[in-house]
Every structure is written in structure tokens, then in C-alpha cells.
């Protein structure tokens, strides 16, 4: 795209893309904020329905995870079954379209609420993982870091037979399994014996201040915000749209269903993310 406000040629008038294409063409420094709707085509379920309500029990609470051994047993037992679906997931057309947009010099920052790392796998480089990454593990005692795949091996070794259990797919590396978890062995930190936690921000836990400040610094350099696949029901992401609106920046959103920011939007595209962004890919229309 050349920065003109005209809609790029080749986009059918009946597609949801013309208004979006014009929005992108008008703004050269987009802060793109993405959510679970970006990754559903990669086989990773989302949490909320079209009204922004929970489809399932909310994710594990930080305080419960840290205080209750039983909560950690349940979390890691289910993660043992759910992690391979995240580890093997591949970027879909939405991730590739946003990487192409960055390659054109249109993206000031890609801020993702997802923890799956799929934007980076698709080629996006200027990324802040607002809620961390599920492929890393951190000791809450000595802060030692390790890979989730290494912990997966330790979980399998400590709990032979668990990995063959059948469980349904759930968001963010969880699995739908309800059983007696009391015999599940949770490995401790190999360095200090401390509690191991995925390097993600749990519910009830604060996003690190430095990360929030970095996003605000990028937002000051942006000239618009594009929300992709998020209901923005979680305040940690919604606050950046509020900040953009206060600064007078236009905001557009692609989402199937309502968002918390509907009254702040200049443009709302009710369509699957990949369909709405298809014009950014070679041969897209």
C-alpha cells in the first residue's frame, strides 16, 4: 500500500475489507492489539462467546495457584495433556497477514494478549506479549527460567501413564479433565526447589509495570489502533484502547461479537479475522 486513503484495487465491494483497508491506508503507524480470535483457526479455543461472556470456567487464579498445592496439581496435570496442542500449533492466515502488514512498515507495535507465540512464528518482530508466553517456565523463588518443553519431559517422567488420558481441548494449553489429581507429582525448580509457574500472567496477577510502560511508549508513537480478535473484556488490554481514545487516536476492531470498547470505535468489522485481513496477503481479496 502507498499510504493513500483509497481502497486498494481488487477488494470486492461486498467483502468486509474495504472500510478496513481504507482505515489501514490512512494510518501509517498502527498499534495492533490482538486476542484469542486470532488463534482459533490454529486450533486454540477462545474463552468468550459473541456477547463477551465466559464459555467455560475462568482460568486459574494466581493466588490459588501460589497458595494451594492442589491447585498446582490440577493445573499441571491438565497442562500435561493440553500443552502439546499449543506446542504443535502453527500460525494461520491472520498471523501471516499481520506479519505482512509489519513488513510493509505499517505496524508501530503488535501487542498480543495471546500466550501462544504464534505471531512471532509467523514473522512478526515488533511484538509485546502482554500476558507472557506459555512456552517458558519461571521459578517463583529464584526466577530461573526454563522451557515448557523441558518441564513437559519432567512431568511425563514423574507421572507415567497420565499423558495417555483422554481430555478435551481448552484455551491456553489447558485441557478438559476432571479426576482425582491428588496423586499427581508436580516437579519443583531444579535449582532451588521453588514453585514453577508458566511465564504468563494469571488472573489476579498484575502485568509487569515495565511492560505496561513500554506499550504506552509505543502508543504515543502510533497514529491509530487496530484491535484484532479480542472482546477486550480483560482490563489489561482494554486500558490501552481507553488511552488511545483519550489521546484522540482512531480505533478500529475486527471481532465476531461485541467488545468492551464498542462505543469508542470508529470502525467495527463483524467478520472472522482471516477473512477481514485476507487483502493483506499475496493474492488476497
228: part of which helix (H) or strand (E)?
strand 224-228
Q: Which of 59, 281, 61 is nearest to 170 (CA)?
A: 59
Listing DSSP states for 87-145 in one string gives HT----HHHHHHHHHHHTT-EEEEEE---S-HHHHHT--SEEETTEEEEEEEETTT--E
96 tagged catalytic? no
**Cell numbers at residue 86, please?**
499449543
**Cell numbers at residue 53, please?**
461472556
Listing DSSP states for 153-183 in one string gives HHHHHHSTTGGGS--EE-GGG-EE--S--TT
Q: Which of 115, 198, 186 is nearest to 149 (CA)?
A: 198
Asked if 138 and 196 touch (Cβ cutoff 8 Å), the reply is: yes
Q: Please, which residues have CB within 8 angstroms of residue 158's CB and are 6 or more apart in sequence?
A: 185, 186, 187
In three-state secondary structure terms, 199 is strand
Instruction: Report the first-to-last Cα separation within the chain, whole angstroms.
Output: 14
Q: Which listed residue (131, 218, 270, 285) is catalytic? A: 131
- The residues annotated as belonging to the active site are 131
Amino acid at each position: 500500500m502507498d499510504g493513500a486513503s483509497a481502497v486498494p484495487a481488487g477488494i470486492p465491494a461486498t467483502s468486509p475489507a474495504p472500510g478496513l483497508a481504507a482505515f489501514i491506508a490512512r494510518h501509517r503507524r498502527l498499534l495492533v492489539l490482538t486476542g484469542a480470535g486470532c488463534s482459533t483457526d490454529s486450533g486454540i479455543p477462545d474463552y468468550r462467546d459473541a456477547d463477551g461472556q465466559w464459555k467455560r470456567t475462568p482460568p486459574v487464579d494466581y493466588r490459588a495457584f501460589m497458595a494451594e498445592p492442589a491447585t498446582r496439581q490440577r493445573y499441571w496435570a491438565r497442562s500435561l495433556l493440553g500443552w502439546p496442542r499449543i506446542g504443535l500449533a502453527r500460525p494461520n492466515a491472520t498471523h501471516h497477514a499481520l506479519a505482512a502488514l509489519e513488513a510493509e512498515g505499517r505496524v508501530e507495535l503488535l501487542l498480543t494478549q495471546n500466550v501462544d507465540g504464534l505471531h512471532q512464528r509467523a514473522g512478526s518482530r515488533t511484538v509485546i506479549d502482554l500476558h507472557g508466553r506459555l512456552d517458558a517456565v519461571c521459578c517463583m523463588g529464584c526466577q530461573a527460567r526454563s522451557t515448557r518443553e523441558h518441564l513437559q519431559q519432567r512431568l511425563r517422567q514423574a507421572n507415567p501413564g497420565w499423558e495417555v488420558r483422554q481430555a478435551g481441548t481448552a484455551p491456553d494449553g489447558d485441557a478438559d479433565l476432571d479426576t482425582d489429581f491428588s496423586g499427581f507429582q508436580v516437579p519443583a525448580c531444579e535449582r532451588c526447589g521453588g514453585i514453577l509457574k508458566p511465564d504468563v500472567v494469571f488472573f489476579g496477577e498484575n502485568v509487569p509495570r515495565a511492560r505496561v510502560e513500554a506499550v504506552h511508549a509505543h502508543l504515543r508513537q502510533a497514529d491509530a489502533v487496530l484491535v484484532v480478535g479480542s472482546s477486550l473484556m480483560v482490563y489489561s488490554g482494554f486500558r490501552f484502547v481507553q488511552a488511545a481514545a483519550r489521546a484522540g487516536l482512531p480505533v478500529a476492531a475486527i471481532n465476531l461479537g461485541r467488545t468492551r470498547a464498542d462505543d469508542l470505535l470508529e470502525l467495527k468489522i463483524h467478520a472472522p479475522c482471516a477473512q477481514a485481513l485476507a487483502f493483506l496477503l499475496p493474492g488476497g481479496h
